[in-house]
Amino acid sequence: MRENLHRFLRAARGAGVRVSPAESIDAMRAVSKVGFADRGVLRDTFLLTLAKSQDEKRALGECFDLFFSQPEPAQDTAEENKADNSEQADSDAGSDSSSESGGGEQAENLGPLAQMLLSQDRNAISAAIANASGAASLSNIRYFTQRGIFSGRILDAMGIQRLRDDLDNLTATNPALAERLQAALDGLRGTVRDTVSQALLLYGREETENLRNEILRNAPLARIEPRQVEQMRALIRQIARRLRERYSKPRKRQRRGHLDVRRTLRRNAAWGGVPFLTAWKRKHRDRPKIVALCDVSGSVARVSDFFLLLIHSLHEVVDDVRSFAFSGHLIEVSDILEEKSPEAAMAEIMSKVGFGSSDYGNSLADFEKGWMDAITPQTTVIVLGDARSNNLDPRADILRRIAERSKRLVWLNPEGRMTWGFGDSEMPRYATFCSVVRQCATAQQLERAVSDIVATYQ
Per-residue pLDDT tens, the chain, 458 aa: give them.
677 788 888 888 878 788 888 888 888 899 888 888 888 898 999 998 898 888 888 888 888 888 887 666 665 544 444 444 444 444 444 444 444 444 555 666 788 888 888 888 888 888 888 889 888 888 888 888 888 999 999 999 999 999 998 888 888 888 888 899 899 999 999 999 998 988 888 887 777 777 777 888 888 887 777 777 777 877 877 777 776 666 654 444 455 567 888 888 888 888 877 777 888 876 655 556 889 999 999 888 778 878 887 777 777 667 788 999 999 999 999 899 888 887 788 889 989 998 889 999 999 999 999 999 999 998 989 999 999 989 999 999 999 999 999 999 999 998 888 999 999 999 999 999 999 999 988 888 888 887 787 776 55
In a domain, 148, yes or no: yes
Type and span of the H or E element at 437: strand 436-439
Asked if residue 52 and residue 150 are part of one domain, the reply reads no
Give the pLDDT score at 309: 78
In a domain, 213, yes or no: no
In a domain, 54, yes or no: yes
Asked if residue 424 and residue 296 are part of one domain, the reply reads yes
Asked if residue 322 and residue 184 are part of one domain, the reply reads no
Q: CA separation (Å) from 5 to 29, 174, 289, 298, 372?
A: 11, 45, 47, 52, 59
Asked if residue 430 and residue 293 are part of one domain, the reply reads yes
Asked if residue 19 and residue 84 are part of one domain, the reply reads no
User: CA 75, 80, 82, 85: dihedral to nearest 10 degrees?
Assistant: -160
- Tell me, rounded to whole angstroms, the distance of Cα 108 from its chain centroid: 52
Asked if residue 100 and residue 38 are part of one domain, the reply reads no
Asked if residue 86 and residue 9 are part of one domain, the reply reads no
In a domain, 263, yes or no: no
CATH number, domain containing residue 395 = 3.40.50.410
Asked if residue 409 and residue 331 are part of one domain, the reply reads yes
Asked if residue 62 and residue 83 are part of one domain, the reply reads no
In a domain, 308, yes or no: yes
In a domain, 128, yes or no: yes
Domain boundary among 162, 180, 206: 206
What's the rounded Cα separation, in Å, for the pair 380 and 455? 12
What's the rounded Cα separation, in Å, for the pair 201 and 143? 10
The domain of 201 spans 78-206
What's the rounded Cα separation, in Å, for the pair 330 and 354? 10
For residue 93, the SS3 value is helix
Type and span of the H or E element at 244: helix 229-256
In a domain, 236, yes or no: no
Domain boundary among 37, 67, 97: 67
Give the pLDDT score at 400: 95
Give the pLDDT score at 87: 43
pTM value? 0.59
In a domain, 264, yes or no: no
Domain boundary among 15, 48, 67: 67
Asked if residue 390 and residue 445 are part of one domain, the reply reads yes
* Number of domains comprising the chain: 3
